[in-house]
Structure 1
Amino acid sequence: MPNKHILIVEDEPKLADILSKYLAQAEFTSHCVHDGAEAEPAFKQQQPALILLDLMLPNVDGIEICRRIRAYSTVPIVMITAKVEEVDRLLGLEIGADDYICKPYSPKEVVARVKAILRRVSLDEQGKLSETESKLKLDEETLFVSFLGEQISLTHVEFMLLKAMYGRPCRIYSRDALMDHIYDGSHIVSDRTIDSHIKNIRKKLSSIAPQQEFIHSVYGAGYKFEAQQKKA
């Protein structure tokens, strides 16, 4: 049986209770803690499939809790925040959060995000991409990308950007996280440099897979790789 247990770390008991009830309707079990100092002991005891982790908590904040747990576990962590400006930090490689949700949120959306992340984790554990995604082939030696026999050439930076996202389908990468993948600390580049590279990659991918959209913008957060049929 798959693990369907969720740890909710939320200092507002009413919000935690609402999330717990909605998760129960979707056949998840859950455990709630309301103090940051209790989060890590609860995680070790409960062994959840995923953590819903509020940013602002008493005693130990969500970023510190995420950092501590990431030191020894890859369990999916979804940060819950009222601070949109914190999103880049939350999703940065140095923090290791898998996704974020901004308050106020719809409990139904939270449940949908939980389901989507756990589906993706299940695929990762099986070593599988979706059927469409697996047809996109990356050749690091030549910097060629092919799809159903059609081929394009990427620059080195473009290839490394695509490779980073391709390796973790559905994960949202902030611009800072993507810059960490392609530039060392000596480079000073703008966030918009990433946007420009992404635009070029999309254009090139569209030339070999006109019916597919592989790279998606996530408002206020960054980009993710996921194969989706283009809308007519």
Structure 2
Amino acid sequence: MPNGSPAAESPPEPGRVAVVIEDDADIRNLLQAILEQAGFSTHACEDGAVGIEAIRTYQPILTTLDISLPGIDGFEVARQIRSFSTTYIIMLSARDEEIDTLMGLDAGADDYLTKPFRPRELRARIEAMLRRYHASTAEQEAPPPTPVGTVVPAPAGTAETADTAAVEPEEPGWLSHNGLRINEEMWLCDVDGSPVELTRSEFDLLLAIMQGARRVISKESLALELRGDYATTGYVSDSDKRAVEVHMANLRRKLNDPVGSPRFIETVRGVGYRLADARRAARR
């Protein structure tokens, strides 16, 4: 049973919608209270099928999802949600084995939290997600940043390489490399003109790598990016790094980008990731 009690709630903010999919009434009520305290308008569901329809109807930016649901389990619910929605999924479960965490992320979850959980910890993860969401929203409303094709300074925790060619110049707002394009302002990604649907975590990882060009970006830096700890240092566990690996594997699958002969993303073993060499990719 979760411990602690949330403080008085704030009025819902425009566009801040959440769906709670949880069959335990006590936990469901607690999750609603935490989310309403954070300014969300919430919609609670007791089973996966109803939860899927709620996401179609309300188009939430955040969804909390229990694994042990009646009927359809949380893993299958996450897979179905991912077929039509980019809502940020926080999966909740009493299972604390690493394989369960990896299965949840592989099914499409962005984050995984074990029960019993502290309301304060869940709130912190929600706030980290909101920082990323508001940052992307603010960038959509702001004038275009550094011109596309300019070498971006390496993020904290990245290693400089001899080959630091920038991504290809593109139309304003787009970063392009070997036929892969990404637009941070419009939250779009395509390969050879065909759109690619990415989760928020996959999009953030790809954007960080595209902005880094041929600089190697460490798994630690990418884990901090996913947590919303921008330009800061912090503890990164093996589980955090494994989560990055799972998200990267899902991203590669969607981009049809095999590890052995990458067109877009190159793995630097034991360090992290960078954009693949354009010349090498052209010889594929």
Report the CA distance between 1:47 and its aligned residue: 2.4
Alignment of 1:60-139 (within 5 A): 60-84=72-96, 85=98, 86-92=100-106, 95-127=107-139
Q: Normalised by the size of structure 1, how large is the TM-score?
A: 0.61
Residue in structure 1 matched with residue 69 of structure 2 by the alignment: 57
Q: 1:105-159 CA deviation, whole Å, 9 max, x = no partner?
A: 012221221122122122234448xxxxx9xx995xxxx96469xx821789995
Q: 1:73-93 CA deviation, whole Å, 9 max, x = no partner?
A: 11111111222331112223x
Counterpart amino acid of residue 67 in structure 2: L
Report the CA distance between 1:11 and its aligned residue: 1.0
Q: Please give the alpha-carbon distance, in whole angstroms, between the structure 1 residues aligned to 2:155 and 2:121.
A: 33
User: Do structure 1's residue 176 and structure 2's residue 249 form an aligned pair?
Assistant: no
Report the CA distance between 1:161 and its aligned residue: 6.5
- After TM superposition, the runs of 4+ consecutive aligned structure 1 residues lying more than 3 A away are 125-128, 144-148, 154-161, 163-166, 171-174, 176-183
Counterpart amino acid of residue 162 in structure 1: I
Report the CA distance between 1:103 and its aligned residue: 0.9
| 1:6 aligns with one of 1, 9, 18 | 18
Residue in structure 2 matched with residue 46 of structure 1 by the alignment: 58
Report the CA distance between 1:35 and its aligned residue: 1.1
RMSD: 4.1
User: Do structure 1's residue 22 and structure 2's residue 67 form an aligned pair?
Assistant: no
Q: Please give the alpha-carbon distance, in whole angstroms, between the structure 1 residues aligned to 2:71 and 2:155.
A: 51
Residue in structure 1 matched with residue 179 of structure 2 by the alignment: none
**SS of the residue aligned with 2:160?**
strand
**SS of the residue aligned with 1:100?**
strand
Q: Please give the alpha-carbon distance, in whole angstroms, between the structure 1 residues aligned to 2:216 and 2:23.
A: 37
User: Do structure 1's residue 33 and structure 2's residue 45 form an aligned pair?
Assistant: yes
Report the CA distance between 1:10 and its aligned residue: 0.6
C-alpha distance 138-67 of structure 1, shift in aligned 2 (>3 A)? farther
Q: Please give the alpha-carbon distance, in whole angstroms, between the structure 1 residues aligned to 2:93 and 2:248.
A: 22
Over the matched positions of the two proteins, sequence identity in percent amounts to 28
Gaps of 5+ in 1: 129-133, 188-192, 202-232
User: Do structure 1's residue 196 and structure 2's residue 210 form an aligned pair?
Assistant: no
Q: Does the Cα contact within 8 Å between 1:26 and 1:111 map onto a contact in 2? A: yes
**SS of the residue aligned with 1:153?**
coil
Gaps of 5+ in 2: 1-12, 141-145, 165-208, 228-239, 262-266, 275-284
Q: Please give the alpha-carbon distance, in whole angstroms, between the structure 2 residues aligned to 1:177 and 1:82.
A: 22
| 1:153 aligns with one of 161, 166, 175 | 161
Q: Normalised by the size of structure 2, how large is the TM-score?
A: 0.51
**SS of the residue aligned with 2:258?**
coil
**SS of the residue aligned with 1:51?**
strand
C-alpha distance 175-41 of structure 1, shift in aligned 2 (>3 A)? same
Residue in structure 2 matched with residue 162 of structure 1 by the alignment: 217
Counterpart amino acid of residue 70 in structure 1: R
C-alpha distance 16-160 of structure 1, shift in aligned 2 (>3 A)? farther
**SS of the residue aligned with 1:16?**
helix
Q: Please give the alpha-carbon distance, in whole angstroms, between the structure 2 residues aligned to 1:126 and 1:163.
A: 26
- Equivalenced residues, count: 181
**SS of the residue aligned with 1:48?**
coil
**SS of the residue aligned with 1:196?**
coil
